[in-house]
């Protein structure tokens, strides 16, 4: 999906309606975490700044903060995750964490496209 962007912290972002960022965690992060048991979602209406940790994904092994790649307001949360954390591993349509209405759309210019993210992963020590 060419409209997807990625962060070095293994979040994916997809833009909807021009200025709404849908955010989830990448397959790499999902695999690293293993069996997911809980997702702590951000508050509806919360203001978040780029780089803030705004959610937590917990697995049997560990807990990982999810960082927002953009600044804005949380306009939707995926409460389906509260009952089934493993949904994160399903499709983007089911596994997103939150939607943020961006206040500075230029921030997405700093994010990686799929090719750059794949290259970034290949350069990491596994």
Mean pLDDT of 23-45: 96
In the chain the first and final C-alpha atoms are separated, in Å, by 25
pLDDT in tens, 53-111: 999 999 999 999 999 999 999 999 999 999 999 999 998 899 999 999 999 999 999 99
pLDDT tens, position by position, 17-26: 889 999 999 9
Where b means 16+ CB within 10 Å and e means fewer, 55-93 reads bebebeeeebebbbbbbbebeebbeebeeebebbbeeee
Q: Do 81 and 94 touch, CB atoms closer than 8 A? A: no
- Say whether pLDDT at 1 is over 80: no
| Alpha-carbon span 13 to 20, nearest angstrom | 10
Q: How many CB atoms lie within 10 A of CB 48?
A: 22
Taking the C-alpha atoms of residue 30 and residue 93, their distance in angstroms, rounded to an integer, is 16
15 phi and psi angles, rounded to 5 deg: -90, 130
CATH topology of domain 9-123: OB fold (Dihydrolipoamide Acetyltransferase, E2P) (2.40.50)
CA distance 16 to 34: 29
Sign of CA dihedral 82, 85, 91, 92: positive
């Amino acid at each position: 999906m060419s409209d997807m962007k990625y962060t070095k912290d293994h979040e994916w972002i997809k833009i909807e309606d021009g200025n709404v960022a849908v955010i989830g965690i990448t397959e790499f992060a999902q695999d690293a975490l293993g069996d997911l048991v809980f997702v702590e979602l951000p508050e509806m209406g919360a203001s978040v700044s780029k780089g803030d940790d705004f959610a937590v994904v917990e697995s049997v092994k560990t807990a990982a903060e999810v960082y927002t790649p953009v600044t804005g307001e949380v306009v939707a949360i995926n409460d389906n995750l509260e009952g089934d954390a493993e949904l994160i591993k399903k499709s983007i349509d089911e596994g997103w964490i939150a939607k943020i209405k961006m206040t500075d759309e230029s921030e997405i210019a700093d994010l990686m496209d799929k090719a750059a993210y794949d290259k970034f992963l290949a350069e990491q020590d596994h």
